[in-house]
Chain A
């Protein structure tokens, strides 16, 4: 059974601070890792799809890294803004399937 874990569960940061959080997953039979941003009352929005060990992806002030050998991915937000406040979810599909297993999410609140 694939188990995807995220930490911390929630985080408060001041506007302008940089922050990061973790998604961990079983390293055996790794296939892909997805990051989503989920704002309240909206649909989860895809940020990154990561597949290769050592992958680094960037979208504006948000970036992510992937270590498939040790089974973790970091999401970084540089210079956090109030509009970054959301729940950040990671999900990994079990190898060769369409079945995504989600983490519990990290709830980020950026204080102005």
Chain B
């Protein structure tokens, strides 16, 4: 069964460093998302991506964040200068259609900023 894969599963980084989280969405999906869950809190929407551009972003997704689909298969989230409060589990998801079709999630990347 097709699945969304994320790498790495765990990343530890120093505050102020740049990190890139990688995702391979399901191949025929058209909509791509990043979410995060800070420990003990709700899953929060970060950004959605369609047709090679950001279609929506939350207030969390500031200038420190960027997304890219560089080669038609990978979907990446870059955090330019990490802060302690960026520590969270980051989930990538993809879907074929919009909100009326199910989204498929990856297993997440646990980012720890020290």
| Chain B positions within 8 Å of A102 at CB level | 35, 42-45
Chain A residues with Cβ below 8 Å from B99 are 31-32, 93, 97-98, 100
Given the contacts A98-B56, A101-B45, A102-B42, A43 and B102 also touching, CB distance less than 8 Å: no
Asked if A46 and B102 sit within 8 Å, CB to CB, the answer is: yes
Residues of A within 8 A of B39 (CB): none
Q: Is the CB of B45 within 8 A of A99?
A: yes
How far apart sit A100 and B100, CA to CA, in the bound complex (Å)? 11
Residues from chain B with a CB closer than 8 A to the CB of A93 are 98-99
Q: Is A103 part of the contact surface with B, judged by Cβ < 8 Å?
A: yes
Chain A's nearest CB lies how many Å from the CB of B108? 7
Note all chain A residues with C-beta closer than 8 A to B4. 43
Interface string of B35-68 (1 = CB under 8 A from A): 1000000111100101000011010000000000
Asked whether A71 is an interface residue with its Cβ less than 8 Å from the other chain, the reply is no
Indicate if the CB atoms of B45 and A43 lie closer than 8 Å. Answer: no
Q: How far is the CA of A103 from the CA of B42 in the complex (A)?
A: 7
Is A49 positioned at the interface, with any CB of B under 8 Å from its CB? yes
User: Once bound together, how far apart are the Cα atoms of A79 and B60, in whole Å?
Assistant: 41
Q: Is the CB of A43 within 8 A of B100?
A: no
Asked if residues B108 and A43 are in contact (CB atoms below 8 Å), the reply is yes
**Is B28 an interface position by the 8 A CB rule?**
no
Closest chain-A Cβ to B36's Cβ sits at a distance in Å of 11
State in angstroms the CA–CA spacing of A98 and B97 once bound together.
10
B31 contacts A by Cβ under 8 Å: yes
* Interface flag for B20 (CB, 8 Å): no
Q: Determine the chain B residues whose CB is within 8 A of the CB of A32 once the complex forms.
A: 99-100
Tell me whether A44 and B42 are in contact (CB under 8 A): no
C-alpha gap A99/B50 in the complex (Å): 13
Chain B interfacial positions (CB closer than 8 Å to A): 3-4, 31, 33, 35, 42-45, 48, 50, 55-56, 58, 91, 98-108
